[in-house]
Amino acid sequence: MNVHVSAQSSANPSSGKVQTHLGALWRPALRQAFVKLDPRQLVRSPVMLVVELTALVTSVLCFVPAAQPGDGQVSTALGVQIALWLWFTVLFANFAEALAEGRGKARADSLKSAGQGLMARKRVGAQFHSVAAASLRTGDVVRVEAGELIPGDGEVIDGIAAVNEAAITGESAPVIRESGGDRSAVTGNTRLVSDWLLVRITANPGESTLDRMIALVEGARRQKTPNEVALDILLIGLTLIFLLVVATLQPFARFADGNLPLIYLAALLVTLIPTTIGGLLSAIGIAGMDRLVRLNVIAKSGRAVEAAGDVHTLLLDKTGTITFGNRRCSALLQAPGVAAAELARAALLASQGDDTPEGKSIVEYLASLQPLALPAPDGMRLIAFSAETRLSGVDVDGLAYRKGAVDAVLAYLGLGRDGMPAALASEVEKIAKSGGTPLLVAAGGRLLGAIHLKDVVKPGIRERFAELRAMGIRTVMVTGDNPLTAAAIAAEAGVDDVIAEATPQKKLARIRAEQAEGKLVAMCGDGANDAPALAQADVGLAMNDGTQAAREAANLVDLDSDPTKLIDVVQVGKELLVTRGALTTFSLANDVAKYFAILPALFAGIYPQLGALDLMQLHSPQSAILSAIVFNALIIVGLIPLALRGVRIRALDAGQLLRRNLLIYGLGGLLAPFAGIKLLDLLLVALGWV
């Protein structure tokens, strides 16, 4: 005997809109900027840790000038200004990271509130007992009834029910989940709105979709991606090189009977090391993951997102991705002697009892051509479509209107295949050979014509494929259709290649063949038969409503279960890589200008020959140092929006994209400091600060 125990939750998913605009985030981000001054936190960003230590040393030196020889050349006022701007540099970098994290934390807090106090009805033997949802483990079986929250990720083993997944996906329309098939997976913290389900839990606490989403949007907890690690190593190497460079300047100055204040050397170190990219690197990564979360895609690792940015080949299912999931009406074909208006009215009337997507598409198609008047509902006797009869229709004004499969309508009229007019029979055959589905329309015992149902290519998909092609990405359509039908749809959609009569073995073989040529491959899928290919692909996007096997094999999960999302994931991956590369280029190019700004000003009195390199003609060594420090801090502020938004990707191949970014961020990074430091020098002199 089962014991009925109600599952309860003390908190409902937040229905309020998550505030992610600057006005709501800047205050907590500013507080976090100061919190992140803790060296234990800054150790994740070695470059900024060096800046903080330099700021600390400078702060001490400006108040104890006698502690070091030569420091007496620097006034306390100038020393304080340099120290303050160094601290501001660290704070601005921390602020950028905190701002990026704040977007995610706002959503994470909303998600966390949904699972607090959630209880579950766990099966123990033949009975069900109430337990905390947090205590559930993989393999536990729970019963969920209408109005209750599903306590964790799982797979339906019994029952069929409608589930509201708005707490996770934002989409309020309920979706059907049932045992068996490819729609058996359920997500924790989503609500049953009808019937009941028996669910086997498939994720331990901390490993669910909700937990992964929270970890992803809380940028502070994310692991660095391989590219970030590699770039960190590069930045550390450059920092060490510039540290050695700056350390050798004082001996050179002493050799020529000169002297350089240590405050100047400390400031010079900060301006030469790649502080711009060092300060924004973490923010770029967090913002990239935030864009992915806003697409409602969960990444199991950052490696998958970066791989998406380098993908060469996309494998896309035809149905639901390239075409609409259901066949749609595309044309009406009259029998000889039948007017187009007569056929249209008969098709409209005969479709009134057809609630299938195909039947609705006929009504929509006719409405788009010309509005047609319908008789009063009480004067019509609807004949609903059924899989048994394969007919739908209506009886009105003494006439019987029918629409359905070719054989079904002919049998209804008492005709054989040879009973169709030759012209109409020819059109029906053409529809069938093209991969479409022909339907016949009859009224008053007469055959009026045919309806052409076909896989309709989604609007705008051809243009998106063209953009991908321009970026060097090939698209491959995967379909179970015969080669003739597949070729026709592929030509209409504009894909580069097609796999017809696809099987799991064919998909797997194609992925391996592409990878053998050194290419990265991405694909999406939802069924258990897609699991091997998803596991083999470099980027595997599983549908959240698909099987558990597919979700486990993939490294990305789309909560909206939209196969076209794979294209957007590739876009995000490319934006992430390009943004990181562009700002790294800009940061390194900055250093060239700083050499011309600071070194000639510092050494002009010691080595007059360096006066030839003094292109900026800055006012004094003091103004040169301070201008460079101020520019270094302000440029981080100026680039924060770009780091958070990402560099927009144009439909260009890799070579063209590289040349474009080198021109904008390479040349721009080279010229910007010349103009910026010179203007700041004039301003500081005018204000009397140096």
Enumerate the active-site residues: 317
Tokens of 364: 């929509």
CA 336 to chain centre: 53
The 10 Å CB-count burial string (b at 16+, else e) for 266-284 is bbbbbbbbbbbbbbbbbbb
- DSSP result, 495-528: -SEEE-S--HHHHHHHHHHHHHTT--EEEEE-SG
> What token pair was written down for 128?
């069900």
Beta strands 539-543 and 521-525, pairing class: parallel
Contacts of 588 (CB under 8 A, 6+ apart): 238, 274, 277, 669
Q: Are 496 and 474 in contact (CB under 8 A)?
A: yes
Q: Which helix (H) or strand (E) holds 175?
A: strand 175-178
Please, which residues have CB within 8 angstroms of residue 306's CB and are 6 or more apart in sequence? 225, 226, 227, 573, 576, 577
Q: Could you tell me the two tokens for 339?
A: 């007017």
**Pair 189, 210: CB distance under 8 Å:** yes
Q: List the one residue out of 379, 382, 373, 385 whose CA is nearest residue 344.
A: 373
Q: Which 3-state string (H, E, C) describes 281-303?
A: HHHHHHHHHHHHHHCCEEECCHH
* Beta-sheet pairing, 185-186 with 154-164: antiparallel
Structure tokens belonging to residue 491: 């030509």
- Main-chain dihedrals φ then ψ at residue 289, nearest 5 degrees: -65, -35
Provide the 10 A C-beta neighbour count for residue 172. Answer: 9
3-state SS string for 421-459:
CHHHHHHHHHHHHCCCEEEEEEECCEEEEEEEEECCECC
Q: How far is it, in rounded angstroms, from Cα 554 to Cα 525?
A: 9
In terms of residues, how long is the chain? 690
CA dihedral 64, 66, 71, 77 (to 10 degrees): 40
Query: Which residues lie below 8 Å from residue 461, measured CB to CB, with a gap of 6+?
Result: 322, 493, 494, 564
Q: Which two tokens stand for residue 438?
A: 């022909």
Tokens 């799991």 — which residue? 504
In order of 167, 168, 214, 598, the CA distances from 164 in angstroms are 8, 9, 20, 62
Q: How far is CA 417 from the centre of its chain?
A: 52
